[in-house]
């Protein structure tokens, strides 16, 4: 090996370490972070979990670790993190689980569940006006996991109805859902007790039910009380007015 080789090697090493030092400098710190989709989690909490609440080099930022930290929150369904190395910006997109209702557990305790039956938390009060689900049989639960019940058919019905209630934006209207009898499901909508029948043609029934309830409230007022038979999607719903 001659002298020129060592000189060349030194120059290469100097260039490499110089480039590494430059890339690692504050010049490449993240200049802006965009957070979208958050609801339960605030932006400050997301930034803190991702390690973006303080200056961080965009090349040193570990997006996989940041994603894993954000996903520790049970309300977060998925996270997408994109880095723009040219503008030195980071885009964080959050998809949160939808709180769809409350499941009775023990006296004074309700499980907050999403539209897949996953338990998000347990509280003694309601965060917002959503249906209370009764009729599920279980003895324990684990936050972050779907409920395991002794009546899985009833659980499946709860999930289907939760998704349909969200689809037709009726969460504010349905007070209670009783799935204890899977062939005779009952929905309490204000002062109206709705006999929904089985889960067959559920989408068609829910679509029809939405229009029927609106018509009854327009005719008799928002505080109307009665019994509504909405068990057959192909026949007119029968209604009995109660005083």
Its domain, for residue 85, covers: 27-96
Average pLDDT of the chain?
A: 89
pTM over 0.85: no
Specify if 234 maps to a domain.
Answer: yes
- Asked if residue 220 and residue 145 are part of one domain, the reply reads yes
CATH of the domain at 40: 3.10.20.310
Same domain for 233 and 120: yes
198 neighbors 161 (Cβ within 8 angstroms): no
From CA 209, how far away is CA 188, in angstroms rounded?
Answer: 12
Residue 70 inside a domain? The answer is: yes
| Rounded Cα gap, residues 85 and 56, in angstroms | 13
Q: Would 3 be classed as within a structural domain? A: no
Q: Percent of the chain at pLDDT above 90?
A: 77
37 shares its domain with 130:
no
One domain, residues 84 and 148: no
Instruction: Say whether both 146 and 185 belong to one domain.
Output: yes
Does the pLDDT at position 110 exceed 90? yes
pLDDT in tens, 206-230: 999 999 999 999 999 999 999 999 9
Number of structural domains the chain divides into: 2
179 Cβ contact partners less than 8 Å away, ≥ 6 residues apart:
133, 134, 135, 136, 154, 157, 158, 161, 185
* The pLDDT of residue 65: 95
Secondary structure in 3-state letters for 206-225: HHHHHHHHHHHHHHHCCCCE
What average pLDDT does the segment 164-188 reach? Answer: 94
| Mean pLDDT score, 113-128 | 93
Residue 228 counted as domain residue: yes
If asked whether residues 196 and 179 sit together in one domain, one would say yes
The proportion of the chain whose per-residue pLDDT surpasses 70, expressed as a percent, equals 89
pLDDT band at 18 (very low <50, low <70, confident <90, very high): very low
Give the DSSP per-residue string, 120-166.
EEEESS-SSS-PEEE----S---TTSB---S-HHHHHHHHHHHHHHH
Q: Are residues 200 and 115 in the same domain?
A: yes
């Amino acid at each position: 090996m001659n002298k020129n080789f060592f000189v060349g090697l030194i120059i290469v090493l100097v260039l490499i370490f110089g480039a590494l030092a430059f890339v690692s400098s504050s010049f490449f710190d993240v200049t802006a972070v965009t957070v979208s989709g958050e609801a339960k989690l605030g932006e400050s909490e997301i930034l803190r979990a991702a390690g973006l609440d303080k200056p961080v080099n965009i090349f040193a930022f570990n997006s996989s670790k940041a994603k894993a930290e954000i996903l520790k929150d049970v309300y977060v369904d998925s996270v997408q993190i994109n880095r723009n190395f040219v503008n030195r910006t980071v885009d964080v997109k959050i998809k949160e689980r939808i709180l769809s209702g409350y499941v009775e557990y023990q006296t004074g305790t309700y499980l907050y569940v999403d539209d897949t039956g996953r338990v998000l938390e347990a509280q003694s009060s309601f965060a917002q006006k959503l249906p209370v689900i009764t009729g599920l049989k279980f003895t324990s639960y684990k936050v972050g996991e779907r409920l395991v019940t002794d009546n899985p058919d009833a659980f499946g019905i709860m999930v289907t109805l939760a998704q349909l209630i969200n689809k037709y934006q009726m969460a504010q209207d349905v007070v209670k859902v009783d799935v204890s009898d899977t062939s005779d499901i009952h929905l309490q909508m204000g002062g109206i007790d709705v006999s929904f029948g089985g889960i067959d043609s559920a989408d068609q029934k829910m679509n029809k039910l939405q229009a029927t309830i609106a018509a009854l409230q327009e005719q008799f007022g928002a505080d109307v009380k009665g019994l509504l038979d909405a068990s057959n999607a192909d026949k007119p719903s029968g209604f009995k007015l109660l005083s």
